[in-house]
Amino acid sequence: MAMEVTVQQLAQLVSGTVEGNESLRLKGISAFDAAEPDDITFANAPEYLKKIDDTRASCVIVPQTAPRSEKVLLRVNDPYLALAKISGFFHGGRRVPPGISPNAYIGSDFTCGKDISVFPGVVVGNGVTLGDNVVLCGSVVVSDGVHIGDDTVVYPNVSIMEKCRIGKRVVIHAGSVIGSDGFGFAGDGNHYHKIPQVGIVQVDDDVEIGACNAIDRATFGRTWIKRGVKTDNLVHIAHNVVIGEDTVLVAQVGIAGSVTVGHHCILAGQAGVGQHLSIGNRATIGPQAGITKSVPAGQIVSGTPGIPHRLWLKVSNIISKLPEMKKHLKTMEKRIADLEASQGPKK
């Protein structure tokens, strides 16, 4: 049977106010143009706010400033946050039965909590510990000595290498590798000699790691992904990096070794950070920025090499004008030269 909930219950979940029938019962959440009458939907952009009455949904999540409507409205301060919470309410929770597949390999000295799910093709090494409600999807590899906390979900083809520690309520999406060797080599002028990477990766609680991430183990100590960090797909985090709480790393971000990133930072798509630098708390690094020196807390940085964002806007505005500026400069040089020639030689 489908879940039913009243609009008032959803309002309590998201600290919103209801305009219309508080007792209206809903069964799900759906896109604006695909919703059915027993759905709630979402409208925040102006083009959707103008046509709220056109959706088939009976209730619409809207900002406080939205116009009145014949629909039941759930007015909130932050529509995107409300969308996340309500969608999680309808679609969150465990969806797989507990149990260990007979087609999984489980090593010695294995310990686990209750209601774990281990799919076919999973390989679990020796001395592994899993908490309650852990889900290991098909073809996951969990190497020797790994610890995984309660309610963590590991999607297919993820590899978690030796001795790494994964916290509670962590989500690791398909194809990611946690604890691969850091890129450490010493050259003698002719050849490179590998520096053993003997540290670990520690992933704290409530982290979500996107698909095909590569998070390298430390040379010594730990590479540390702190609580609440969210990474997009195709992110690389090198050895001994520390990522602060609730920081967001967008697709194709690359962070070199021994970098410290503060809490609540945003690194936009394809941003790159050079080794041994620090990014201050609540800093924002723009897309494709190349960071070659440390960034102070709270600063917004763009471009390569990274400079303050407002300065970068001025610079980028000039770049497209450089050919015309060069043309004018040559004209001015010629006019000055002609003027000097017409005045004769200096006495």
103 and 86 in a single domain? The answer is no
Domain annotation covers residue 339? no
Domain annotation covers residue 324? no
Last-in-domain residue among 27, 61, 91 = 91
| Overall domain count for the chain | 2
Tell whether the model's pLDDT for residue 346 goes beyond 90. no
281 and 164 in a single domain? The answer is yes
Active-site residues: which are they? Answer: 239
Boundaries of domain holding 128: 99-310
Q: Which residues have a Cβ under 8 Å from the Cβ of 193 and sit 6 or more positions away?
A: 185, 186, 187
- Residue range 330-345, pLDDT digits in tens: 999 989 988 888 886 6
Between strands 284-285 and 290-291, the pairing is: unpaired
122 and 72 in a single domain? The answer is no
Q: Find the CATH number of the domain harbouring 276.
A: 2.160.10.10
Site of tokens 């809490």: 263
- Residue range 45-55, pLDDT digits in tens: 999 999 999 99
219 and 247 in a single domain? The answer is yes
73 and 104 in a single domain? The answer is no
138 and 63 in a single domain? The answer is no
Residue 321, Cβ density class (10 Å: 0-12 exposed, 13-18 middle, ≥19 buried): exposed
Q: Find the CATH number of the domain harbouring 58.
A: 3.40.1390.10
124 and 61 in a single domain? The answer is no
117 and 217 in a single domain? The answer is yes
Q: Which of 237, 193, 198, 195 is nearest to 216 (CA)?
A: 237
Q: How confident is the model at residue 93 (pLDDT cuts 50, 70, 90)?
A: low
- Residue range 59-69, pLDDT digits in tens: 999 999 999 99
